[in-house]
Amino acid sequence: MNLDEDLISAHQTYNLPRLVVLYQQAAEEAFARQDIDAGCFYLTHAYIFSLEGNHADSKKIHARLVDYGREA
Amino acid sequence: MNQVSLLHDVKKPVAEAKGLPNQHYVDPVTFADESLKLLKQQWAGVGFGKDIPNKGDALPITFLGTPLLAVRNQDGAVRVFYNVCRHRGMQLIAEASNLGKVIRCPYHSWCYDLDGKLRASPHVGGPGQNIHDSIHREELSLLEVPSAVWRDVIFVNIEGNAPEFDVYAAELKQRWAEFEQPIYHGGAESSFKLDVATNWKLAVENYCESYHLPWVHPGLNSYSRLEDHYHIEQDDRFSGQGTLVYRQLEENGLKFSDFQALSEQWNEGAEYVSLFPNVLFGVHRDHAFAIVLEPVAIDRTREHIELYYATEQDLDADYAELRQKNAKLWKEVFSEDIHVVEGMQKGRHCAAFDGGKFSPVMDSPTHLFHRWVAERYES
Ligand code: FES
Ligand SMILES: [Fe+2]
């Protein structure tokens, strides 16, 4: 399965921890190709689902968005 | 006669007074007016703490059409917000659930913490940009409704105009100071709802008088003898009745535990009080109950009835039968009242009815409530 399909299935099953992981992956791929906007877009999604799911990565993701000037 | 003079009659001393005119039970304009003055501007009961026992629990409540959200925050305190997102006014939470630490709006995923603070506003400044100069998060907290929890009932003052709840309830808290101790909800069988085709006020009026007991509740027999009852009357706050002959339930030698260190008065005493506007309480040596009257429509009321015990031990399986018996007993009693409150509602469609003539001796708690209504209504 590719990332898109994984994401769709994680949305369908409302699997919050999985969404946090997959959106971080999507962000990494975007950052790897120097697409900062797309990276922050996916990171934002990872952040929102990490807040909702009380996920351990929440702080780390938040800090990263702050570094990029995308979050307060 | 005009409205002013009709309410003037309500406020006379009980021997000369008339009851509230029909329009307070059947006229939609008066109902809307009363909903504001008697409910939203007062401390109205809307739910129970036991329904949100854990941190992060959230319960959507619609009260008089207003969408509310009761939440137990990370400190274990109950807070009540409007169940509405500050962005586009989306309803935030549709069903009772545990939210963890944030309330995420299902529309564009703005996230609020359990104290209502806006924590995240994704893409608000464009894709991947979650901040913007014009988005001041500190100004975009969820709108909070003043609330208080007492005897497990969640009270709200929607209009935010009332004195502190502790001030409003001070006289009743003082009267029942001995009962200011933990209460334990009896569980599923100790919780029931009755849908009644009546205006909510008639349920209050019926609850606070003992006059009807021998006629409507003959099964209570010795317990309902009129001479064993007394009135409870606190102007502007509450009214009700007390009994001198409460007898504990007993089965195979088993009784519920008593609340701690009660004075002798409560050995065979029990009290039933309507805290205006819409909450009915009962206290006994070994159990208590709370009833929230939900005004569903001018002539529809949902009674939310919850029974509580004095110790955790009373929630054990050993006591299950006794709890069931107690719940059944109260359900029977409250069900016996349905035909009278529904019958009074029907009677209020008779244009010739003039509000009614009170018994100066037996109806004074009811009259006290009518006076409270009249005074609030005219304010
Ligand atoms: S309406 Fe709630 S985030 Fe848009
Ligand atoms: Fe009754």
Return the percentage of chain B with pLDDT > 90, whole number: 94
B57, B63 in Cβ contact below 8 A?
no
Does B161 lie at the interface with A, CB-CB under 8 angstroms? no
Domains, in order of start, for chain B: 46-156 (2.102.10.10), 169-378 (3.90.380.10)
B126, A67 in Cβ contact below 8 A?
no
Contact check, Cβ <8 Å, B101/A41: no
Which H helix or E strand runs over A36? Answer: helix A36-52
Mean pLDDT in residue range B6-21: 96
Q: Which of B177, B152, B136, B323 is nearest to B260 (CA)?
A: B177
Q: Which residues of B118-132 are buried (b: 16+ CB within 10 A; e: fewer)?
A: bbbbbbbbeebbbbe
What does the mean pLDDT of chain A come to? 96
Mean pLDDT in residue range B7-14: 96
Distance B228 CA to ligand 1 centre (A): 58
- ipTM here: 0.92
Amino acid B335 reads: S
B80, B71 in Cβ contact below 8 A?
yes
Of the pLDDT bands very low, low, confident and very high (cuts 50, 70, 90), residue B227 is confident
Residue B2 has pLDDT above 80, yes or no: no
Does B3 lie at the interface with A, CB-CB under 8 angstroms? no
Distance B211 CA to ligand 2 centre (A): 9
Of the pLDDT bands very low, low, confident and very high (cuts 50, 70, 90), residue B222 is low
Mean pLDDT in residue range B110-121: 98
Closest ligand 1 atom to B89 CA: 1
B271, B230 in Cβ contact below 8 A?
no
Residue in B120, B127, B131 nearest the CB of A51: B120
pLDDT digits (tens, 9 = 90+) for A34-59: 999 999 999 999 999 999 999 999 99
pLDDT digits (tens, 9 = 90+) for B362-379: 999 999 999 999 999 998
Q: Tell me which DSSP letter residue B151 carries.
A: T
* CB of B123 closer than 6 angstroms to any ligand 1 atom: no
B185, B336 in Cβ contact below 8 A?
no
pLDDT digits (tens, 9 = 90+) for B185-209: 999 999 999 999 999 999 999 999 9
pLDDT digits (tens, 9 = 90+) for B281-296: 999 999 999 999 999 9
Mutation pick for ligand 1 pocket among B102, B108, B123 (CB with most ligand atoms within 8 Å): B108
pLDDT digits (tens, 9 = 90+) for B40-95: 999 999 999 999 999 999 999 999 999 999 999 999 999 999 999 999 999 999 99
Chain A nearest-CA distance from B97, in A, is 13
Count other Cβ atoms within 10 Å, centred on residue B161: 10
Please name the residue whose Cα sits nearest to atom 1 of ligand 1. Answer: B88
- The encoded tokens of residue B233 equal 């009357």
Distance CA B223, CA B220 (A): 5
Closest ligand 1 atom to B121 CA: 3
What does the mean pLDDT of chain B come to? 96
Mutation pick for ligand 1 pocket among B82, B83, B87 (CB with most ligand atoms within 8 Å): B87
Q: Which of B8, B9, B14 is nearest to B368 (CA)?
A: B14
pLDDT recorded at residue B4? 64
Q: Which residues of B279-303 are buried (b: 16+ CB within 10 A; e: fewer)?
A: bbbbbbbbbbbbbbbbbeebbebeb
* CB of B87 closer than 6 angstroms to any ligand 1 atom: yes
pLDDT recorded at residue B342? 98
Mean pLDDT in residue range B146-163: 98
Which H helix or E strand runs over B3? Answer: helix B3-10
pLDDT digits (tens, 9 = 90+) for B270-324: 999 999 999 999 999 999 999 999 999 999 999 999 999 999 999 999 999 999 9
